[in-house]
Structure 1
Amino acid sequence: MTYYRSQLFVPGNREDRFEKACQAGADLVCIDLEDAVGPSEKDAARESVLNWLSRTEHRNVSLRINGLDTEVGEKDIAALSKSGLTLPFVMIPKVASKEQLDSLSKRLPEKLGPFFAIIESALGLINAEEIFSHPRVSVGMYGAIDYAGEVDCDLAWETHLFARCKLVAAAAAYDVQLFDTPHIHVRDLADCEATTLQAKALGIHARSAIHPAQIERIHSALMPTDDEISYAQRVVAAYEEANGNVVLLDGKFIEEPVVKRARRVLTYIS
Structure 2
Amino acid sequence: MTEFPRCPLTWLYVPGDRPHVVTKALAAGADVVVIDLEDAVGPDRKEYARAATAERLAEPQQVPVHVRVNALDTDRAAADLAALAGLPGVSGLRLPKVTSASEIRQIAVATPLPLYALLESALGIEHAYAIATAHPSLRGISLGEADLRADLGLRADAGLDWSRSRVVVAARAAGLAPPSQSVHPDIRDLDGLAASCARGRALGFLGRAAIHPRQLPVIERVYLPTPYEIEEAETVLKAAATDQGAQALPDGRFIDAAAVALAHRTLSLTRRN
TM-score range, shorter chain: over 0.9
User: Corresponding residue for 1:126?
Assistant: 126
Q: Secondary structure in 2 aligned to 1:268? A: helix
Alignment partners' CA distance in 1, 2:124 and 2:265: 28
Alignment partners' CA distance in 1, 2:158 and 2:133: 27
Matches within 5 A, 1:223-234: 223-234=224-235
Alignment partners' CA distance in 2, 1:176 and 1:88: 17
Alignment partners' CA distance in 1, 2:118 and 2:172: 16
Alignment partners' CA distance in 1, 2:22 and 2:203: 32
Alignment partners' CA distance in 2, 1:218 and 1:48: 29
Contact (CA 8 Å) 2:182, 2:209: kept in 1 or not? yes
Alignment partners' CA distance in 1, 2:232 and 2:146: 37
Instruction: Render the CA deviation track for 1:7-55: whole Å, top value 9, x for unaligned.
Output: 0000000000112101111111000000000011101110110110112
Alignment partners' CA distance in 2, 1:138 and 1:21: 23
| TM-score, with structure 1 as normaliser | 0.94
Instruction: Render the CA deviation track for 1:161-214: whole Å, top value 9, x for unaligned.
Output: 100111110011112221111001110001101110111111101110011110
Aligned residue among 100, 105, 123 for 1:102: 105
Deviation of the 1:56 alpha carbon: 4.3
Deviation of the 1:242 alpha carbon: 3.4
Deviation of the 1:2 alpha carbon: 3.1
1:167 maps onto 2:167 in alignment: yes
The answer for unaligned runs of 5 or more in structure 1 is none
User: Corresponding residue for 2:181?
Assistant: 180
Instruction: Render the CA deviation track for 1:73-106: whole Å, top value 9, x for unaligned.
Output: 121122223x443632111000110001111111
Larger RCO, structures 1/2 (Cα 8 Å, 6+ apart) = 2
Alignment partners' CA distance in 1, 2:14 and 2:243: 49
Deviation of the 1:58 alpha carbon: 2.1
User: Corresponding residue for 2:197?
Assistant: 196
| RMSD between superposed Cα atoms in Å | 1.4
The answer for unaligned runs of 5 or more in structure 2 is none
User: Corresponding residue for 2:82?
Assistant: 78
User: Corresponding residue for 2:217?
Assistant: 216
Count of residue pairs the alignment pairs up: 264
Find runs of 4+ consecutive structure 1 residues off by over 4 angstroms.
none
User: Corresponding residue for 1:64?
Assistant: 68
Instruction: Render the CA deviation track for 1:103-141: whole Å, top value 9, x for unaligned.
Output: 111111x2xx21011011111000000111121111222
Q: Secondary structure in 1 aligned to 2:58? A: helix
